[in-house]
């Protein structure tokens, strides 16, 4: 039985990852920051851990909570989307929340979780992947507008963190991945992909990841973004 860790799984894409991997028979460990999220995860049958990725004191204890688990696949799904564009300066609160959740939380998780991912791979047969949910809005080339510019900056920073960290963990495959435009609270009801469709597409891509994808920025369907 494979072990899957989903960081930021209380709703949306994270919760759907939990649902689909449980349906396939995986052991799923998932994090949420509040009681309601933890209850949703427990109701599905996941092992639920209380972690707030935006609070260093909370995310820094993740390795202790995992207690030596070997993780075949880890997913960092937590994210926030501050609204606004370049016509108005962002507030410090909005900027800090986005950077703490979208970037710092991932950077805190990498040195705690990636050794467990490497251990699963070296132990014989583990997928050995750590996937970080990014966004097509993180691309620097071909930017259409400044909508969500704090979010764009945070996800571009996440991509760089993933590509940089890959060099220190040769026994794992670290990948940033866009889920596409999805019908979530962030994406809105008019998005072309349902949450279930997006997650199914990403799971298919994840199943085919290999050493050639180390440090890459991929779309949900596996296509590689030509530029960041």
Instruction: Determine how many CB atoms are found less than 10 A away from the CB of residue 46.
Output: 25
- The full set of domains in the chain, from first to last, is 3-218 (3.40.50.720)
Residue 81 to residue 224: CA distance in whole angstroms: 24
Between the alpha carbon of residue 25 and those of residues 3, 4, 21, 39, 46, the distances in Å are 10, 10, 7, 20, 11
Query: Tokens 């851990």 belong to which residue?
Result: 49
- What is the three-class DSSP state of 112? helix
Structure tokens at 18: 């939990």
Residue 38 to residue 32: CA distance in whole angstroms: 6
Residue 132 to residue 205: CA distance in whole angstroms: 13
- Answering whether pTM is above 0.85, one says yes
The pLDDT value given to residue 125: 58
pLDDT by residue (tens digit) across 114-148? 999 999 887 655 679 999 999 999 988 889 899 99
pLDDT interval class at 1 (50, 70, 90): confident
What percentage of residues in the chain have a pLDDT greater than 70?
A: 95
Please give the biggest Cα pair distance in the chain. Answer: 53
pLDDT interval class at 226 (50, 70, 90): low
Q: How far apart are the first and last CA of the chain?
A: 35
């Amino acid at each position: 039985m494979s072990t899957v860790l989903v960081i930021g799984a209380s709703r949306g894409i994270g919760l759907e990852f939990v649902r689909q991997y449980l349906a396939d028979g995986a052991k799923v460990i998932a994090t949420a920051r509040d009681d309601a999220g933890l209850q949703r995860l427990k109701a599905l049958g996941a092992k639920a851990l209380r972690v707030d990725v935006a609070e260093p004191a909370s995310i820094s204890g993740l390795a202790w909570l995992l207690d030596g688990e070997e993780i075949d696949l880890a997913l960092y799904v937590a994210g926030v989307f501050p609204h606004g564009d370049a016509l108005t300066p962002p507030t410090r609160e909005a900027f800090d929340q986005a950077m703490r959740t979208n970037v710092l939380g991932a950077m805190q998780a990498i040195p705690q979780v990636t050794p467990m991912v490497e251990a699963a791979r070296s132990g014989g047969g583990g997928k050995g992947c750590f996937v970080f949910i990014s966004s097509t809005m993180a691309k620097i080339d071909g930017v259409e507008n400044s909508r969500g510019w704090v979010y764009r900056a945070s996800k571009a920073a996440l991509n760089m963190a993933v590509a940089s960290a890959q060099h220190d963990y040769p026994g794992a495959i670290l990948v940033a991945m866009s889920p596409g435009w999805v019908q979530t609270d962030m994406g809105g009801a008019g998005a072309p992909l349902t949450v279930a469709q997006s997650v199914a597409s990403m799971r298919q891509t994840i199943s085919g990841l290999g050493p050639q994808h180390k440090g890459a920025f991929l779309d949900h369907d596996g296509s590689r973004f030509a530029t960041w």
